Amino acid sequence: MANFSININGKVHEVDVDPKMPLLWAIRDELGYVGTKFGCGIGQCGACTVHVDGVAMRSCQMTVETIAERERAITTIEGLSENGEHPVQQAWLEHDVPQCGYCQAGQIMSAASLLNNIPNPTDEDISTGMAGNICRCGTYTRIHAAVKTAAAKLS
């Protein structure tokens, strides 16, 4: 066990954990930000997606030690918008994207990162940017439409 300072949603938190603990578990179990979900544990499904210095990354694949040592800023779904007012979140509601909802935090975080990098994405950009986020309910068509709507809201 070791003490680390990690910046989550703009606030520095102290955690006393195993240095090799995946960031996902520190976020959920130690700090109580439960919007970030555990899916596959191998970085393939995208349910655990957070922003690391503004870039979508899989939190199950990063250790607390690595994040703390590099003083990375982490944003979870809770930090994207305090009241769910981010344009991506609003577009998700407009298009009734969620069914079971399990993957949606990761989907939204990937979409927000995509739009930060490519404000007016093509269909191919959206497909590429959202690849690796698996939706067991198959709402990919609605996800694609919601990303386009969010892009329009952000421009």
Domain with CATH 1.10.150.120 in the chain: 87-154
Position 82 confidence tier, pLDDT thresholds 50, 70, 90: confident
Q: Which residues are CB-neighbours of 146 under 8 A, at least 6 positions away?
A: 88, 91, 92, 94, 95, 97, 111
* The domain defined by 87-154 carries CATH number 1.10.150.120: yes
Question: How does pLDDT run across 33-81, given as a tens digit for each residue?
Answer: 999 999 999 999 999 999 999 999 999 999 999 999 999 999 999 999 9
* The domain defined by 2-80 carries CATH number 3.10.20.30: yes
Mean pLDDT across the chain: 96
Question: How does pLDDT run across 65-78, given as a tens digit for each residue?
Answer: 999 999 999 999 99
